[in-house]
Amino acid sequence: MPRTEISWRFEGLDEVIRAARDLPDEAQREIDDKREELSQRLAQLVRAAGQASDRQSARAATTVRPGAGGQMVTAGPHPLLFGSEFGALGRFGWYANRRYRRSVARQFRPHRGAASYWFFRTIERHQPEIDEAWAQALDAITRAWSA
């Protein structure tokens, strides 16, 4: 079955979760709360970028939400998601019909390889500030709960 969602997770999050298992339950809840807060903030930024990009991206951006578990942000499923995020070279669905073969209009923006139009581009742009907020939160929790 093809993937119908895009997601992104913090680099090193698995190691943090493993290390947090040794902390008291209250400290683990603080880590979860901070992850949820950062996930909400990043989801809002990505959703806004999609809405500002173009009409197809705006429709796909309605599916952007904070991720569950280790995922920070998830988008989809939506039929326009991958075309609006990465573009496309071909025609799909009803637009692949024979009568549209000579149409100069394109169904999606041009495909740019692995380059992003809105989802990953926004995450990469805000990565330093999210990483810094995450590091500060973990430092504060570690200082408060270390013996």
Per-residue confidence band for 8, with pLDDT thresholds at 50, 70 and 90: confident
pLDDT for res 1: 47
Break the chain into its structural domains and give their ranges.
6-145
Per-residue confidence band for 3, with pLDDT thresholds at 50, 70 and 90: low
DSSP, residue by residue, 72-101:
EEEE---TTHHHHHH--SS--GGGGSGGGT
* Token pair listed for 40: 């909400």
Q: In the chain, what percentage of residues exceed pLDDT 70?
A: 94
pLDDT for res 7: 83
pLDDT for res 13: 67
Count Cα atoms within 13 angstroms, Cβ side, for 43: 22
Span 57-94, pLDDT tens digits: 999 999 999 988 778 899 999 999 999 999 999 888 88
Calpha distance 17→141 (Å, rounded): 13
At 6, is the secondary structure helix, strand, or coil? strand
- Is residue 123 within 8 Å of 46, Cβ to Cβ? yes
